[in-house]
A and B are shown apart, each in its own frame.
Chain A
Amino acid sequence: MSGPERSMRTPLGRVRHHGAAGEGTGHFIAQRWTAIALALLAPWFVVNAALSIGGGSYTAAIDFLTDPVNAVGVILLVAVSFYHMALGMQEIIADYIHKPFSKISLLLLNAFVPFVLAAGAVFAVLLVNFGA
């Protein structure tokens, strides 16, 4: 970091911790690598799921999820897509929601809800494979 005399920020802004969070590049890169991974995972899942469990039967779904390649693929799909979508939603919230309380509440929800459901989804795949 350059010294304060080179900064574009005002002294008041600095004192109040305004300005860039300095996390933009990490967000940008994470959005891209998850996008590239999902460009492979999402079509794989849609086509395979449609073909093997599109009939709607319970046994077809269990057969699909107990195949090791499918189980690993679905776990990866959930992990990567939930990360990707939380990053995207963070951007939408930051763009459109300006009231501090609403913004912080939605950002917190967006941080927690995908994690909780991703944990549940991954555990569900494990349960199908290893559960009693």
Chain B
Amino acid sequence: MAGARPDQRPISPHVSIWRWHVTMASSILHRATGFGLYVAALGLALWLMAAAAGPQMYEPLMAFLMGPLGQIALYLIVAAIAYHLANGIRHLVFDTGAGLAPSEADTTAWFVILFAIAVPIGLWALLTFGGLR
């Protein structure tokens, strides 16, 4: 190969020598949150069935969901929904051919991650301090 010295040439990427990119993390997170939301959606079905079965089924379930573990789970589910929603819209834009330049894709990936952090905080703040319940 003519031109650059060997140490200046781009190195063929392999599993162990990838540098983390935010676009890479955003892609992996999309699949991970999708997988998590699959499980959460099965939980939604069980929640509806518990509501139909009556208070003797519903109240123990809600006692769990209102407890610390349940609240952590719900918090993560809301974060996952916010992430998958925002990144899904990002992918719908990608499908049109727009936003694929590395700088744009990086910016939107960071925006999606910040959105996913902000949404559950905002929702819990609204529920805790909003005086709505």
Q: Which residues of A contact B (CB under 8 A)?
A: 32, 35-36, 38-39, 42-43, 46-47, 50-51, 54-58, 61-62, 65, 74, 78, 81-82, 85, 88-89, 92, 113-114, 117-118, 120-121, 123-125, 127-128, 131
Which residues of chain A are near B49, meaning CB under 8 Å? Answer: 120-121, 124
Interface SS majority for chain A: helix
Contact with A120, one of B45, B59, B132, B133 (Cβ below 8 angstroms): B45
Residue from B52, B58, B66 with most neighbouring chain A CB atoms (10 Å): B52
The reply to whether A85 and B34 contact each other, CB–CB distance below 8 Å, is yes
Are B35 and A121 in contact (CB-based, < 8 A)?
no
Query: Is B38 a contact of A89 with CB atoms below 8 Å?
Result: yes
Q: Tell me the chain B residues, 82-133 only, with Cβ under 8 Å from chain A.
A: 85, 88-89, 91-92, 95, 123, 126-127, 132-133
For B52, the chain A residues whose CB sits under 8 A away are 123-125, 127-128, 131
A-B contact pairs, 18 of them (CB 8 A): A35-B88, A42-B85, A43-B81, A43-B85, A50-B123, A54-B133, A56-B65, A57-B62, A58-B51, A58-B59, A61-B62, A81-B41, A82-B45, A92-B34, A114-B41, A120-B49, A124-B52, A125-B52
In the bound complex, residues from chain B placing their C-beta under 8 Å from that of A127 are 52
Q: How far is the CA of A22 from the CA of B62 in the complex (A)?
A: 45
A46 touches B65 (CB 8 A): no
Min CB distance, A9 to chain B, in Å?
28
Nearest CB of chain A from residue B123's CB, rounded to whole Å: 6
Q: Are A121 and B34 in contact (CB under 8 A)?
A: no
Q: A51-B133, A81-B41, A128-B52 are in contact. List 4 more A-B contacts (CB 8 A).
A: A46-B123, A54-B133, A121-B44, A124-B52
- Given A50-B127, A61-B51, A89-B38, the answer on whether A56 and B66 have CB atoms closer than 8 Å is yes
Residue of A at shortest CB range from B89? A39
A60 to chain B, nearest CB (A): 9
CB distance from B114 to the nearest CB of A (A): 17
**Given A121-B45, A124-B52, A131-B52: A51 in contact with B92 (beta carbons within 8 A):** no
